[in-house]
Every structure is written in C-alpha cells, then in structure tokens.
Chain A
Amino acid sequence: MKILRKSGRATLLATGLAAALGATAGLANAAETVVMAVPTFLTGAGAPAFGVPARNGAEIIIEAINKGKLPAPYNNSGKGLAGRQIQALIYDESGGGVKQVAEFRNKVQKQGVDLFVGYISSGTCAAITPVAEELKMLTIFPICGTPRIFEEIDKNPKYVFRTMGHATADGVAEAMYVKANMPDVKGYTGINQNYAWGQDSWRDFDLAMKQLMPNVPVSEKTQWPKIFSGQYGAEISALMLSKEPLVHSSLWGGDLEAFIFQGSARGLFRKKKLLFSVADTSVYRLGKKAPAGAILGARGPYGIFAANVDTPLNKWFRKVYSDRYSTPPVGGSYQAAQGVLAAKYAYDKAASMNGGKFPSKDQVIAALEGATFQGIAAKVHMNRSNGHQAATKHMIGVLAWDKEAGGPIMTKVQEFGPDCVMPPPGVNGTEWLKGGMKGAKC
C-alpha cells in the first residue's frame, strides 16, 4: 500500500525545514536612514476612498521632509528626520488584522523598521496595538477611529500614538451640529454598514443625540446593510417610508457612492436630510452628483473643510497634491500627512533636546508625548491618554455646489473645539456620552 511504503525522504524533510528556518538574514538597517513603514490600503475596497489618498498624502510629506522643503513652521528644520533621510516602506493593509500583525512582525524583525506611520482600519489598529507595545515599536496611527485602542486595549500606552481625534468626537460633533441647526427635528434614523466601524459610528451618534436632544425619537428600524453589498434598493425604500426626517450614515467609499447614485435616482435626498460622517472622501470625485444639502463631516478639520485654510503649509500641500493627482486632497490625505508630520516634529524636537545629536527611540517618544504640533490645517494636541491620543478641532457643514468655482464647497460650517467633542483625559468615551458629556468645553 502506498501509504505504507517507507519514505526515506524524512531526513531531507528535517534538513529542508531546518535550512529554511535557520536562514536568519535579517536586513541590517542602514545607519543613516530612518526606515518608516507606511501600511495603507493599496488593494480592495478601502484603497480608493482612504488607502491611496493616504499614501499620496504621506508620500508628498516624506519627499518634502527628505528634501528639506516643507513650508513654515517646518521650513527651518533641515532635511530628513533629525537630519536622517526617511526610507519609506509602503505596503498593503488588506487581509485582516491577523495578517497585518504577521506583517508588522515581519517588518520589525526582518526589515528593521524604525517606526510605523499608518493603518486606516480600526480593526487593524486594534490588532496592532498590543504587538507594537510588545515589540516596543514606535507606531503612529494617523487615521483609524475606534476609541477602544486607548480605552480598552491599552490604557497605558508607551509606544503607540494616534494623531487624530477618535470616533467619539465624530458622533458628538454631529449631534451638536444637529442640535444647533435642526432644533425642531422630528426624529432620526440611520443607515450604517453592519461591521465594526458602522456599529461604532451609530452607537456614538445615537448616544450623543440621546443626551443632547432627549426628546427627539430615534427610529426602531435603523438600516444595517452588509458591508460592500452595493445594492440599497430596499434600504432606500425603507428610509423613504420612515417618518424620521434625518438619516445618519457612516457609509464610505464604493458603498457610499452606490448609495448616493441609487438614492439620487429615487429622490431620497430631496425627501430626507442626510448626515454623512465620512463622505468627504467622495465629494470631489462625485462632483455634481454629490448630494448638495447633505450634512457632511470629515472626521476633523480635513479635506474639503481645509479648502480655505490660509496657511503656507496648507496652501502648499493642496497645490502639490492637486498638481500631482489632479484632484484636491481628501480627509485621508490630510490625516496621513499629519501622522508623518508628527514624526518629523518628534524627531526634530528630540534631537534639539539631545544637543543636536540623533535621538534615541525613547527620546522621540518623550518628545511626542503631550506635544502640540502643527498639522497641515490645524493644531494637533497630544493631550489624552498620557499624551498619546490627539485632540483637534472638529468641523461639520452642509455640502453645496459652487457654480463659480465649478466645485463642491462646504457651507454653514460650524467649528467645535478639541475639548468640546473629545472626552476629557482619562474618561471613557461611552461613559462620558452616557453621563451627559460632563466637562465638555464648547
């Protein structure tokens, strides 16, 4: 019988395995560069909405840092990070948290990465956090939104930073905007993808609304389409039949755009007021097809909300980006760029405190902890979670079409200070919301 035949290849097996595993060729890190890994969605549904704009934004800043051509306030800081050139390793974030953790270890242990600036999906960030701490790897999350990172997964971070506000701020800002601008609203409902981000977004918005407008009823039939389903006929019917005039949605990317096409064709946006929490990713691309009159957020002062910010850094960034990619930068581009700037700020500051010598990792971390630095379009205050979690101002507005400029613009924009929408240091976001948002400075 075949299976009984002796196999003398067993020794080969042993040596083969040993040879393959024994090859310990970890790449030595060239001494004079800083290896920065930049994981972002390069494939799949996350690429066009977030991944590729984020990569583009990061690349522009990295290039400028290496050439020493950043505008003010970074114009006198020399080339590179504390004088060393950045060697960027841009790679794909697709495939889920488990795969990304494996890749993270590979990059750290095999390719000798010095720091990470990246990750878009909350799921990946949540998965990476414990590993980054375990491997003592400086990791800056520029985009991902889940509050769980410093509230549950790692309450005492040392190596992990996040350079933008988390999702709780979105929900709070949105609810405040509704309260200020639609005080008589008769009720609200939602359509959010049935996965972690959609579930979190709705929960925070709903909790904030219950606090701010306790008498406004919420629909019992909020819609939960499957992520990437792309077909919203039944959901649109249900929304149009519902009595609530306000619809909250955290749809993004292809799903959002499909929803807009299908909703527009059926007059949904004339009948209901839509509130899109991350629709800025699609407004430039959709152009005139974007639903004018909808309330929009960009998870902070980014993308279209920064269109008119008149600082050298922002003007330069928008120009370079638009010239190169023939479309203005969106939220993801700003946020990723901001993450790279955080590294620039921290390395340079640490070097100056180190007498001009290249700083150690601990010195860089110390420099970033609790710092306030200039992002592309707004100040970033690293003043939450032991100085590892940023707070920035937040902006919400109404989308309109600017006939003269031939492009989308934001109107009726309302700004919210960092301490207005982010929970105070040391306070859990959900509890803060449930407790009536005590300590919010608006």
Chain B
Amino acid sequence: MRYIDKTVVGLTIAFLVLFIADFFMAEWVRFIGLQSLARGAVALGLLVLWRTGLVSFGHALYFGFGAYAAAMLTLIGYHDAFLLVFAGTLAAGVLAYLLGFLLRRYRAIFFALLNMAFSMILYGVIVKTEELGSTDGFSVLTPTFLGYAPQGEAVQTTLFIFTLVFTYIITVGVHLYMKTTLGGMSMAVRENEIRVEYLGYSAEKVIHVKYVFSGLVAGFGGAIMALAIGQVDPDSMANWTVSGEFVFITILSGIGNVGATYIGALVFELIRTYAFEYAPQFWQFILGGSLLAIIMFLPDGIWSLFSRLRRSEKAPSP
C-alpha cells in the first residue's frame, strides 16, 4: 500500500505507549487494563460479526470455553501461558467451527438467540461437572512464560505485555483483514446476501468464517481472563449475563474502529468498578442506567464522540 494506514499507526502508538506504561502503571490500573484487553478482544470478535449484520447474545460460550480449556490444562500440569492461551483460543475456535455449520443458516434475532441457547447449555454442563468445581469453578495457578516464572507483581506485568503483544497482533490483523476481499464481504453479506450468492460466493461461508474468527478471539479473551484473574467459574464466564455484557461493550464501542472495542471495554470496567465502589447495593442500577443512556443518547457508541470532536475541529461553526 502506498498510503500509511492511520489506524495501524494509531494502534501501534497505543501499543508502544501501553508497553512502556506497563512498567509504571499502578497495579489496579494494569489489572483493569488487562481485563479490558481480554473483554475487548471478545468485543472485537462481535464487531466482526456485527459488520456482517449479525449479533450474538451467546459469546460467553466461547469466552467460557476458552477460559475453561486453558484452565483445565493447568489441572494436568501445563502452565505455560503461550500453550494455555493457544489451547484456549483453538478450543473455542474449533467449537465455533462446529456450531457454525448450524448457526450460519440463521440471521437477525434468531442468530442472536440460538447463540444464547448454546451458551446456556455450556453453563449447564459446567454446573453439572463436579470435577470442575461446579458453580465454584477452580483456581488457575500462576502461568510461566516459556520457562520464565515471574513472582509477585512481575506476574501481572509480564502477563500484561504478553496480552498486549497478542491483542496488538490480533487487532492489527483484524483491521487489515477487513480490507481483504473476504473481510470486505462482511459488508456485502450484511447489505445483500442474494447478490453475494448471485456473484458466485456463499454468504453462509462468509458468515461461517467470521463466526469462527469471533469464536477464536472470544476464546483468546477467555483464556487471558482465566490467567489474569487466576480463577474460572461458570457465573462470571459462561452465564448469559456475561454475553449481555459483551454486547454492551460492543454497542458502547460502536462499529467504527477496531481499536474502539478496547476503549469500550475499559469504559465498561471503569463504570462497573466505580459503581461497585460508590453504590455497593445498587451497582446494577448504575450499570443498567448507563447502558440505557448510551443506547438512547450515543447510538453509535463512544467512537462517535471522537468523530464529532474531529468534525467540529475541522468545520468551525459559521
């Protein structure tokens, strides 16, 4: 490409800033950042689906599956973060690939709800499995990184860098992928599936590819979350409310930019953290209220704030 892609530049700057900031951040900030990266990755997967015109209310399925897959490996003695995250990502991807054959036939609200139904089945299976701690879940021990076994604060510092590198690669990858023929077909499928079919390509195949991708990144997010928190349990990882939170983050971020999903996730974490802190008994009220406010008054997500800002900069009022 002859031109410089500004999104890639922006992501790279953000990556570098965060990379350096990692060594200076307060622990709780890093921890919130880590969670935002993990949830943001899931939202990124949902964004890809959304651009294809589909919304899933069940991506806790892949988030939880990735988290449990990674966590279960620690039970049999594997602790390398690379292996765990890779396995979690892959497991969720395989599951998405299999379910994709069924789900790619559905659209709109039916697609959204069938996803939710499948996520509830996973939830039921986990609760039923006493070996995996049922509703209690189980702890995930501190990971190692290719033989390096950090202690204390270094655990989170290392994990943050680890996560940052992979989310950067994934995010830039997604952004570039969106510009390929297959990536661009998101638009085509969303706008007119019939035309896509009559141009000689399967809309369902396009959807299936996106679906597998969204499953992969959701699994990645789940595996990262399992390592970051050091715990997996069905209520926080596979419950339908978790899926709702992911859609919340996606809407909050808006469809505009791949990087926005992480900002959306961060805003979500901050709302929740402060609601928890200042209204311990009524934090759901605040969370729900913010969600409603965003839906009503910021329909295009927080990214539209940036756009508005830029527009007003460029075109001073007459």
Contacts and interface: CB of A to CB of B under 8 A. Distances in A.
A and B touch in the complex (CB under 8 A): yes
Interface of A: 1-4, 6-18, 20-26, 42-43, 90-92, 95-99, 101-103, 105-106, 108-111, 121-123, 126-127, 129-131, 134, 146, 153, 194-196, 199, 227
Contact of A102 (B31, B134, B232, B283): B31
Given A1-B184, A194-B128, 6 more contacts: A13-B257, A18-B14, A26-B28, A96-B239, A98-B137, A195-B135
Contacts of B283: 92
Interface of B: 3, 5-11, 13-14, 17-18, 21, 24-33, 35, 51, 127-128, 130, 133-139, 141-142, 152, 155, 178-179, 183-184, 186-187, 225, 229-237, 239, 256-257, 259-260, 262-263, 266, 270, 273, 276-277, 280-281, 283-284, 303, 306-307, 309-310
A349 B221 CA distance: 46
Given A7-B257, A195-B127, A196-B136, A92 B9 contact: no
A405 B127 CA distance: 44
A3 B51 contact: yes
B288 to A, nearest CB: 13
A126 B310 CA distance: 49
A196 B127 CA distance: 8
Contacts of A122: 136
A26 B277 contact: no
A14 B33 contact: no
Contacts of A102: 31, 35, 229
23 contacts: A1-B184, A6-B5, A9-B310, A20-B263, A21-B18, A22-B24, A22-B29, A42-B281, A92-B280, A96-B236, A98-B225, A98-B233, A102-B35, A105-B28, A106-B31, A106-B273, A123-B137, A127-B137, A127-B139, A131-B230, A134-B142, A134-B155, A196-B130
B136 A146 contact: yes
Contacts of B178: 3
Contacts of B9: 10-11
Contacts of A21: 18, 21, 25, 29-30, 32-33, 266
A108 B9 CA distance: 36
The A interface is mostly helix, strand or loop, or mixed, namely helix
A229 to B, nearest CB: 12
A10 B11 contact: yes
Nearest to B262: A17
Given A96-B235, A106-B28, A109-B28, A8 B13 contact: no
Contacts, number: 208
B28 A1 contact: no
Contacts of B309: 12
A102 B178 CA distance: 33
A91 B128 contact: no
Q: Which of B8, B35, B130, B233 has the most CB of A within 10 A?
A: B233
Contacts of B14: 10, 13-14, 17-18
B27 A105 contact: yes
Given A6-B3, A14-B10, A196 B229 contact: no
Contacts of B127: 194-195
A4 B179 contact: yes
A3 B139 contact: no
Given A9-B10, A12-B306, A16-B263, A98 B135 contact: no
B77 to A, nearest CB: 15
B10 A42 contact: no
A1 B187 contact: yes
A2 B17 CA distance: 28
Contacts of A110: 26, 28, 273
A90 B277 CA distance: 9
B187 A126 contact: no
A101 B231 CA distance: 8
B26 A26 contact: yes
Nearest to B31: A105
A109 B27 contact: yes
B82 to A, nearest CB: 21
A17 B139 contact: no
Contacts of A1: 184, 187
